[in-house]
């Protein structure tokens, strides 16, 4: 079971599913003519290297490689639907990844920080204009909020505002894109990917009818990773508030890969200890959030996910 947990994962794409092992990946897509198109390829030696076995460091390295593989899979899936042959490789691939990451960091990590600082500044401004020291907002005295001593005692309040804002942005963004019909189908394939891996880990024969009975949620989902990263950021970023604002901004950017490595190790650890009732309770928020990124798939979509999984395993054996 542990080898299965460590080895297999996946990603939903446009009308298809990517399944990835340690040696190979397979991408299965439903073409406009109804046929299932499959692409397989060997993974780089990075997945079998010593770096891939070092806790915390392995998460950062494998996550960066998984992002590039995922981007290529998205382009390949789009090409299957349009009949075009657009490729994304070399500098163009890395530029696209850089722009995507910069947008994500700006929206989900720096914007909440800016919102928290704005609220703090407004509270300090209100405190300076307050007629008496007894004025309070939400139970926090406004008097003196702008001076350094009061600021130091409200680090956790500011960190909480930033964390809640970040979580609200992520949940709101996922909810909003989930209203788009094409994205809803991607979320159905996401559910098909989860069901297939859940069924495999249960040891049953992978048929659409069998797989359909299994849960939409999976403890190693990327949605769980995002929520864990947000929770960790609340505590880690609170340590930066006493610093100058330049270091607060840079620190948030530099902390992201470190927190990502920790979050991935946490996800791996919980996935390997699901026999514990405490661990199952710990991951309930992660599983609950997956209700936003998964939809119930039909049998045809499950067929695609199963094909991707089986082709990936076959490619692993031949790698």
pTM reported for the whole predicted model:
0.82
In the chain, how many domains are there? 1
* Banded model confidence at residue 6, pLDDT cuts 50, 70, 90: very low
Residues 129-158, mean pLDDT to the nearest whole number: 51
* Banded model confidence at residue 309, pLDDT cuts 50, 70, 90: very high
Distances in whole angstroms, Cα of residue 25 to Cα of each of 10, 18, 92, 198, 229: 9, 7, 22, 18, 26
pLDDT at 63: 76
pLDDT digits 0-9 by tens, 218-240: 998 988 888 898 889 888 888 88
SS3 content of the chain, % helix, strand, coil (to 5): 65, 10, 25
pLDDT at 160: 81
Range of the domain at 117: 2-318
- Radius of gyration of the chain measured on its C-alpha atoms: 22
**Mean per-residue pLDDT over the chain, rounded:** 83
**Ranges 25-39, 114-128, 156-170, 262-276, most confident:** 25-39
- Would you say residue 84 has pLDDT above 90? no
Structure tokens at 214: 């299994």
pLDDT at 130: 57
Answer whether 148's CB lies under 8 Å from 230's CB.
no
pLDDT digits 0-9 by tens, 149-162: 454 346 777 788 88
């Amino acid at each position: 079971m542990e080898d299965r947990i460590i080895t297999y994962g996946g990603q939903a794409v446009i009308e298809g599913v990517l399944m990835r092992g340690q040696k190979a990946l397979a991408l299965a897509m439903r073409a406009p003519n109804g046929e299932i198109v499959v692409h397989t390829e060997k993974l780089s030696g990075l997945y079998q290297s010593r770096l891939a076995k070092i806790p915390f460091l392995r998460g950062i390295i494998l996550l960066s490689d998984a992002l590039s593989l995922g981007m290529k899979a998205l382009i390949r899936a789009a090409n299957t639907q349009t009949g075009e042959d657009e490729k994304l490789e070399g500098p163009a691939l890395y530029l696209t990844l850089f722009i995507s990451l910069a947008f994500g960091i700006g929206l989900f990590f720096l914007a909440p920080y800016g919102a928290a600082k704005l609220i703090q500044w407004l509270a300090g401004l209100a405190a300076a204009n307050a007629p008496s020291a007894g004025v309070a907002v939400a139970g926090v005295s406004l008097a003196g909020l702008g001076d350094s001593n009061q600021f130091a005692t409200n680090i956790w309040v500011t960190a909480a505002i930033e964390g809640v804002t970040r979580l609200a942005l992520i949940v709101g963004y996922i909810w909003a894109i989930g209203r788009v019909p094409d994205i809803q189908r991607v979320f159905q394939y996401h559910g098909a990917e989860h069901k297939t891996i859940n069924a495999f880990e249960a040891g049953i024969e992978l048929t659409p009818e069998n797989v359909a009975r299994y849960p939409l949620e999976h403890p190693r989902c990327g949605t769980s990773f995002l929520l864990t990263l947000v929770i960790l950021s609340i505590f880690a970023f609170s340590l930066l508030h006493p610093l100058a604002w330049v270091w607060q901004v840079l620190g948030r950017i530099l902390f992201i890969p470190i927190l990502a490595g920790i979050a991935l190790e946490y996800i791996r650890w919980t996935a390997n200890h699901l026999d514990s009732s405490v661990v199952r309770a710990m991951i309930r928020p992660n599983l609950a959030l997956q209700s936003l990124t998964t939809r119930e798939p039909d049998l045809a979509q499950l067929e695609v996910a199963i094909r991707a999984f089986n082709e990936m395993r076959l490619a692993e054996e031949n790698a």
